[in-house]
């Protein structure tokens, strides 16, 4: 006869304890964990007792009770939506400083090309970005925990959008309106890793077939992005791959055997290795060109030489007017092209190297804060979302910095929070989702054991109750606040 395994902490079956642990891992408010465990455990014990009294064997009763409760990840994520705690102020401060630095840097650049930057347009972009960030915090990242049907509909609409906007640009006569649509599409690419988290989330427990389906959907989206830009898929690939690796590491797909997990890793890295090797074989000796740009065919190494010459002639503090090049001394305007993609290079030329010593630590601090939020997460969806956002930020930072230092020049996305209008809006929305992942740490302080309710009774500060109605379970949370008026009267 089957005897349910009892956990060491309580007299409940071990299966129930494991289920409750998975539920609580999704809830970021740690003070609610004991109440959630107690109330759900009581409900599960009562349900199991009902099954046993109906003549169902204990082994089957435990299994049916857990099945009726539902997926622990989804139950915990649903409870997690109810709480609205504090926000990481250090991360907000770093981003605010980058926005201020961006205002100054763009002013310096546009003065160099005899243009006046519009402060109104930049302010509008920042205002729209902050509205998007607050909306993302308000909605919360758990909005990505959707059903497979909803996720596929959203995925399809997103891909139709990023595919149609570049086509409208190509056939729109390159008008200002069509160019605006094209620019919107390019920046919407940055939201793909975040949306991809919702797609991966909806394929929980689908094994190797679910993994292959998610990988195929990412490949289709990256291929569609090639219609707009060759560099965009390369940048979006890294955070998307990080999300998929995180899902495999968390055993999100529920592989039946270890060999399936190994096969998943091989399916991810072998194609990338082949593509990288082909690129090295056909890329006109990229490593040699980086070391000696003058050997690049058809004068392609000029931009490397120009950037490195300008940086070599720049001072730590103060502007630089004359650049020492292999062709002799030349004015800065004749050697360095006016290109917004070289914004940091022009800033170093006009203000000095000290500006880079301010901007890079701020960018590094934003990434480290994001990694800290990632490491603190116990929920699977929180880990994937924070991973997607952090890698999206990091790839943009690294790509822009290396291009402005003349290492491997490629058309980069604007520096997050520092440059551009649409880029600022999109990156602030991403920041909002990152803040929504990490905003609940401020509620982890010890709570008083008892408080007064409205009737003056002493009660527990948090009460979670669960009731069953047929096949549905109603879970409610009650928080009793201290009776402020009564306490104030007592002090008088």
User: If DSSP codes are grouped into helix, strand and coil, which group holds residue 2?
Assistant: coil
Q: What is the C-alpha end-to-end distance of the chain, expressed in Å? A: 65
**Alpha helix stretches (DSSP H) within 202-282:** 207-225, 231-249, 258-282
Q: Whole-number mean pLDDT of the chain?
A: 78
pLDDT grade for 395, boundaries at 50, 70 and 90: very high
**Are 428 and 460 contained in the same domain?**
no
Q: What average pLDDT score do residues 303-318 get?
A: 85
HEC string of 303-324 equals: HHHHHHHHHHHCCCCCCCCEEE
Distance CA 314, CA 252 (A): 51
Assess whether 371 and 238 both reside in one domain: yes
Burial of 7 (0-12, 13-18, 19+ CB in 10 A): middle
Residues 288, 164, single domain; the answer is yes
Answer whether 416's CB lies under 8 Å from 402's CB: no
- The 10s digit of each residue's pLDDT in 270-296 is 888 887 777 666 655 666 666 667 666
pLDDT at 174: 58
Q: Per the domain annotation, does 325 fall within a domain?
A: no
Number of domains in the chain: 2
Structure-model confidence comparison of residues 299 and 382, the more confident one: 382
Among 109-123, 188-202, 315-329, 349-363, the range scoring the smallest mean pLDDT is 109-123
Residue 364 has a pLDDT of: 94
Angle formed at CA 465 by CA 448 and CA 52, multiple of 5 degrees: 130
Residue of 44, 40, 136, 134 lying closest to 79 (CA atoms): 40
Are 94 and 222 found together in one domain?
yes
Last residue of a domain, one of 439, 455, 473: 439
Asked if 200 and 291 sit in the same domain, the reply is yes
The confidence score (pLDDT) of residue 118 equals 62
Average pLDDT over residues 79-103: 81
Do both 213 and 310 map to the same domain? Answer: yes
Q: What's the pLDDT at 362?
A: 93
Other C-beta atoms closer than 10 Å to the C-beta of 434 total: 28
Q: Do 201 and 381 meet the contact criterion of CB atoms below 8 Å apart?
A: yes
Which residues are registered as beta bridge partners of 328? 325
**What three-state secondary structure class fits 474?**
strand
Confidence band for 340, pLDDT divided at 50, 70 and 90: confident
Neighbours of 173 (CB within 10 A): 8
In this structure, the number of other CB atoms found within 10 A of the CB of residue 392 comes to: 29
Ramachandran bin of 7, using left for φ above 0, alpha for ψ from -120 to 50, beta for the remaining angles: beta
* Shared domain check, 274 and 232: yes
DSSP string, 417-457: TTS-SHHHHHHHHHHHHHHHHHTTGGG-SPPPS-EE-TTS-
What is the distance, to the nearest Å, from the Cα of residue 20 to the centroid of all Cα atoms in its chain?
A: 27
Closest by alpha carbon to 345, among 328, 334, 332?
A: 332
Higher pLDDT, 170 or 84: 170
Instruction: Flag whether pLDDT at 443 surpasses 50.
Output: no
Instruction: Show which of 421, 439, 457 is a domain's final residue.
Output: 439
Give me the pLDDT at residue 384, please.
92
Angle of helix 89-112 versus helix 354-376 axis, rounded to 10:
150
Average pLDDT over residues 479-488: 42
Q: ∠ CA(84), CA(436), CA(28), 5° rounding?
A: 60
Q: Give the end of a domain, one of 404, 421, 439.
A: 439
Q: Are residues 19 and 166 in the same domain?
A: no
Q: Does one domain contain both 30 and 129?
A: no
307 occurs within a structural domain:
yes
Q: What's residue 473's pLDDT?
A: 53
Residue 2 reports pLDDT greater than 90 = no
pTM, entire model:
0.72
Give the pLDDT mean for 102-130. Answer: 73
Q: pLDDT (tens digit, 9 = 90+) per residue, 182-203? A: 667 778 888 999 989 988 988 8
Please report which helix (H) or strand (E) contains residue 325, including its range.
strand 322-325
Residue 441: name the closest of 84, 29, 21 by CA. Answer: 29
Per the document, the length of the chain is: 492
Burial of 281 (0-12, 13-18, 19+ CB in 10 A): exposed
Band of residue 475 on the pLDDT scale cut at 50, 70, 90:
low
**155-182 pLDDT per residue, tens:** 888 888 877 777 776 666 555 555 566 6
List, in order, residues 6 or more apart from 274 with CB less than 8 Å away: none
Mark whether 30 and 104 lie in a shared domain: no
Q: Which band of pLDDT confidence, cut at 50, 70 and 90, is reported for residue 11?
A: low
Shared domain for 294 and 413, answered yes or no, is: yes
- Bigger pLDDT: 293 vs 378: 378
Asked if residue 191 lies in contact with residue 253, where contact means CB atoms within 8 angstroms, the answer is no
Is the CB of residue 174 less than 8 Å from the CB of residue 191?
no
At 245 the pLDDT is 92
The confidence score (pLDDT) of residue 122 equals 79
DSSP calls for 45-90: HHHHHHHHHTT--HHHHHHHHHHHH--HHHHHHHHHTT------HH
Q: Is residue 13 predicted with pLDDT exceeding 60?
A: yes
In a domain, 249, yes or no: yes
Query: Looking at 62-76, 124-138, 221-235, 373-387, which range is the least confident one?
Result: 221-235
For residue 398, being part of any structural domain is answered with yes
**Partners of 13 in the β-ladder:** 6
Q: Which domain holds residue 144?
A: 89-317+343-439
Q: Is the pLDDT of residue 428 over 90?
A: yes
Tokens of 352: 């000095």
Q: At what angle do helices 119-139 and 422-438 cross, to 10 degrees?
A: 30
The reply to whether 324 falls in a domain is no
Is-contact 194 433, C-beta < 8 A?
yes
pLDDT band for position 125 (cuts 50, 70, 90): confident
Residues 452 and 483 in one domain: yes
How far is the CA of 257 from the CAs of 3, 71, 81, 264, in angstroms? 27, 21, 33, 11
Q: Is 2 among the domain residues?
A: no
Whether pLDDT at 491 is above 50: no
| Domain presence at residue 482 | yes
Question: Residue 338: inside a domain, yes or no?
Answer: no
**462 beta partners:** 479
Distance CA 416, CA 394 (A): 9
Residues 6+ apart with CB under 8 A from 86: 439, 440, 441, 442, 443
Beta carbons of 400 and 48 less than 8 angstroms apart: no
């Amino acid at each position: 006869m089957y005897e349910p395994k009892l956990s060491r902490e309580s007299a409940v079956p071990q299966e129930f304890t494991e289920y409750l642990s998975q539920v609580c891992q999704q809830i970021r408010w740690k003070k609610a964990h004991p109440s959630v465990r107690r109330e759900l455990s009581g409900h599960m014990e009562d349900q199991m007792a009902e099954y046993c009294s109906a003549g169902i064997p204990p082994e089957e009763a435990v299994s049916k009770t857990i099945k009726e409760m539902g997926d622990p990840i989804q139950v915990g994520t649903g409870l997690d939506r109810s709480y609205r705690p504090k926000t990481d102020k250090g991360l907000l401060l770093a981003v605010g400083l980058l926005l201020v630095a961006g205002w100054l840097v763009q002013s310096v650049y546009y003065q160099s090309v005899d243009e006046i930057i519009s402060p109104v347009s930049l302010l509008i972009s920042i205002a729209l970005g902050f509205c998007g960030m607050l909306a993302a915090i308000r909605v919360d990242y758990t909005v990505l925990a959707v059903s497979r049907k909803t996720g596929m509909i959203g995925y399809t609409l997103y891909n139709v959008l990023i595919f149609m906007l570049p086509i409208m640009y190509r056939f729109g006569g390159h008008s200002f309106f069509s160019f605006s649509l094209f620019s919107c599409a390019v920046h919407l690419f940055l939201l793909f890793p975040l949306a991809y988290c919702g797609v991966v989330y909806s394929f929980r427990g689908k094994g190797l077939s679910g993994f292959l389906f998610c990988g195929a959907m990412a490949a289709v989206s990256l291929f569609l992005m090639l219609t707009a830009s060759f560099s965009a898929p390369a940048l979006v690939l890294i955070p998307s791959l990080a999300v998929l690796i995180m899902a495999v590491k968390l055993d999100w797909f529920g592989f039946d055997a270890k060999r399936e997990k190994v096969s998943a890793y091989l399916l991810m890295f072998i194609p990338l290795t082949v593509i990288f090797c082909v690129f090295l074989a056909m890329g006109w000796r990229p490593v040699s060109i980086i070391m000696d740009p003058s050997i690049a065919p058809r004068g392609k190494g000029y931009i490397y030489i120009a950037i490195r010459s300008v940086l070599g002639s720049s001072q730590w503090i103060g502007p630089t007017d004359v650049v020492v090049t292999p062709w002799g001394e030349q004015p800065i305007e004749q050697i360095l092209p006016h290109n917004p993609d070289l914004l940091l290079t022009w800033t170093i030329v006009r203000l000095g190297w000290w500006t880079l010593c301010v901007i890079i630590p701020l960018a590094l601090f934003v990434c480290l804060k994001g990694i800290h939020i990632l490491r603190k997460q116990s929920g699977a969806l929180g880990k994937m979302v924070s991973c997607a956002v952090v890698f999206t930020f990091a790839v943009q930072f690294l790509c822009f910095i290396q291009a402005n230092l003349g290492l491997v020049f490629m058309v980069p996305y604007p520096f997050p929070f520092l440059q551009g209008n649409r880029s600022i809006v999109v990156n602030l929305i991403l920041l909002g989702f990152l803040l929504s992942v990490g905003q609940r740490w401020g509620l982890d302080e010890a709570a008083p054991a008892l408080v007064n309710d409205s009737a003056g009774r002493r009660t527990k500060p948090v009460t979670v109750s669960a009731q069953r109605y047929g096949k549905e379970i109603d879970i409610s949370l009650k928080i009793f606040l201290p009776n402020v008026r009564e306490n104030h009267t007592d002090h008088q």
